[in-house]
Amino acid sequence: MKLQPFTRLFSIAALAVVAAVMTAPAAMACGGCGCSAKKEKPAGPSGDIVETAASAGVFNTLLAAAEAAGLVETLQSEGPLTVLAPTDAAFAKLPEGTVESLLEPENKDQLVAILTYHVVPGKVDSAAALEAGTATTVQGGELTFSVESHGDHDHAQVNGVNIIKTDIETTNGMIHVIDAVLLPAE
């Protein structure tokens, strides 16, 4: 099965979105871009990546995908890991049937590749990611971090996808929430 390029925004971003939603009070939205213009400092980690994502309630698709791919234990490991987590809304942007197809056992290798493309070894906060400019994922692909200006503020992007919440600490790493699913190059 060959996926469209925009489906690469898939798995790790979902974890980041959950943590962002959990820690963000009423964040101001950027004028039309949908980013969160307000950066909140979370109180501190209360769970691992999976626990943090599950408690947010907006990463159900990401967590189901991690379960189908056999990656839950990895995301609960000591780490540290940094996850670019797409929310359920990010997964909903994929073409109809894409998520369901990826969850089928015969597509497990492709699902693992997409999900691990959303994970970077180590604990990488937003400042370090932007300073470095790139990061190598667990899948082996490269991510490119940049800043886009929106008039009165700037916000971070990864591979052109908005990072809507940054620096959500977990006991085993960091989550950054993204608004689309990232797909590795084929």
> pLDDT category, 52, cuts 50, 70, 90?
very high
Domain boundaries, the chain: 5-24+35-178
* Average pLDDT along the chain: 79
User: What's the CATH number for 5-24+35-178?
Assistant: 2.30.180.10
Query: pLDDT above 90 covers what percent of the chain?
Result: 59
- Whether 81 and 49 have beta carbons less than 8 Å apart is answered as yes
Q: Are 141 and 134 in contact (CB under 8 A)?
A: no
* For residues 114-126, average pLDDT: 94
| Tens digits of residue pLDDT in 56-91 | 888 999 999 999 999 999 999 998 999 999 999 999
Q: What is the pLDDT of residue 56?
A: 86
Strand, coil or helix: 157: strand
* pLDDT value at residue 19: 33
Q: Has residue 42 got a pLDDT over 90?
A: no
> Once rounded to an integer, what is the mean pLDDT over residues 159-170?
92
Q: What was the pLDDT predicted at 150? A: 74
pLDDT score at 91 = 94
Kind of pairing, strands 81-86 and 173-178? parallel
Q: Is the pLDDT of residue 4 over 90?
A: no
Better-scored residue on pLDDT, 39 or 140: 140
d(CA 175, CA 178): 10
pLDDT greater than 50 at residue 143:
yes
pTM of this prediction? 0.76
In this predicted structure, the answer to whether residue 31 has a pLDDT above a threshold of 50 is: no
Q: What is the pLDDT of residue 3?
A: 34
Cα–Cα distances (Å) from 143 to 70, 73, 138, 186, in that order, read: 23, 24, 11, 14
